[in-house]
Amino acid sequence: MFKKIILLLTCFLSFTVNANHSCSGKVRDIQITKYGVLYSTLSGIASSAKLCDLSPAEGGNDAEFCKALYSALLVAKASDNTVTLWFNIDTNPSCSKGSWVDLSKDHGFYHFRLGT
């Protein structure tokens, strides 16, 4: 019985560690559709990835986060700084997310940092 409990705890802890992770890269481009959807190519992370929606009708606080993210991406691109993104529902801990993916919906993008 004790061995089964230890095995379950080990599996749970492994899942927890892999479920939340961060990835860093440089901003290669920033794209906005006429509908206010923000996309970006981030080296080592994703190409033309959907980050969020700038439209206030689509998300309230999410739109405010998106505006701040857009500003930070512009600063990162202009200063050639590294950005870090955190994911919390990502089943694949690899930082390579692919092309034209929705980082929030598909990978649980929830936090952003602009750093050196």
- For 84, list phi and psi in degrees, rounded to 5: -125, 130
CATH architecture of 21-115: Beta Barrel (2.40)
Taking only the tens place, the pLDDT of each residue in 22-77 is: 999 999 999 999 999 999 999 999 999 999 999 876 445 688 999 999 999 999 99
Q: Where are the domains of the chain?
A: 21-115
Per-residue model confidence as pLDDT tens digits over 43-56: 999 999 999 999 87
Task: Kindly report, residue by residue over 87-114, the tens digit of the pLDDT.
Answer: 998 777 789 999 999 999 999 999 999 9
pLDDT at 13: 46
Please count the other Cβ atoms lying within 10 Å of the Cβ belonging to residue 108. 17
